[in-house]
Amino acid sequence: MSLPPPAPPPAPGVVSLSSLREGYQALVIGATGAIGGALFAHLQADPRCLGVTGLSRSSDPPVMLEDETSLAHAARALRNHPPFQLVIDATGALSLDGMGPEKRLDDLQSERLQRALLVNAVGPVLLLRHFLPLLAGGERVIWAKLSARVGSIEDNHKGGWYGYRAGKAALNMLLQTAAIEIARRRPQAVVAALQPGTVRSPLSRPFVGDDALAPEESGRRLLAVLDTLPASGRAHFVDHQGQSIPW
């Protein structure tokens, strides 16, 4: 039996994840967002990726972080899909109901704080709970979640952004705790919290300058970083340049 011809080299600017097996399957949750859409497009262009699936609030089935039932339903809908080697959760929200992050203690409201935690921490970890069984076993797999540098407790030098900071800090703790558990059954699994950089997107438009990254460039960098991360039994907290961020 003759072997199939090797895959052609990626086109210039295309990121090819060589650390995953040839013909890997990828899933992007939040695929209609600026960064999620860029990641989806990059994975489609990777000749080593056999298929990429995208989910979002507007997909069929929809994924809504505030509704655990929708997460469970979406996971069940993919149970007959080939196992995924890469799952990227690109969900999250900086502004809620048209209101930006709180800058002062006087701005805090119970309902907004709870929603920030629900969307940025509780929803994503429940998503992990329901979608983890879709990851392949016995081989290198990656679960990546967009986080933020402002979720670092040690790196907080400016204050403000109470709900968003707290949500991302809680997310990071939940990912670290899950990574330890996941490693017991999937020792080759990589779990990563990713800081995508300051990116031009609807989420960050009111807060960024002209030097912000294009979503396509951020997505390219994030995939290149993911390709280098080792399975260590712990979660990684890294930025788009591959630099570790203090938890």
Which whole number is the average pLDDT over 98-117? 92
Q: pLDDT value at position 145?
A: 98
Q: pLDDT value at position 6?
A: 43
| Residues paired with 88 in a beta bridge | 28, 144
Per-residue confidence band for 196, with pLDDT thresholds at 50, 70 and 90: very high
Q: pLDDT value at position 9?
A: 47
| More confidently predicted of 45 and 205 | 45
Which whole number is the average pLDDT over 153-157? 95
Q: pLDDT value at position 202?
A: 67
User: How far is Cα of residue 212 from the mean position of the Cα atoms in its chain?
Assistant: 19
Q: pLDDT value at position 208?
A: 60
Q: pLDDT at residue 7 above 70?
A: no
Q: pLDDT at residue 90 above 80?
A: yes
Per-residue confidence band for 3, with pLDDT thresholds at 50, 70 and 90: very low
Q: pLDDT value at position 108?
A: 93
Q: pLDDT at residue 5 above 90?
A: no
Name the percent of the chain lying above pLDDT 70.
Answer: 91
CATH class held by domain 24-239: alpha beta
Q: pLDDT at residue 92 above 70?
A: yes
What does pLDDT average to over the chain? Answer: 92
Q: pLDDT value at position 200?
A: 83
Give 27-81 pLDDT, tens digit per residue: 999 999 999 999 999 999 999 999 999 999 999 999 999 999 999 999 999 999 9
Give 161-195 pLDDT, tens digit per residue: 999 999 999 999 999 999 999 999 999 999 999 99
Q: pLDDT value at position 126?
A: 98
Q: pLDDT at residue 11 above 70?
A: no
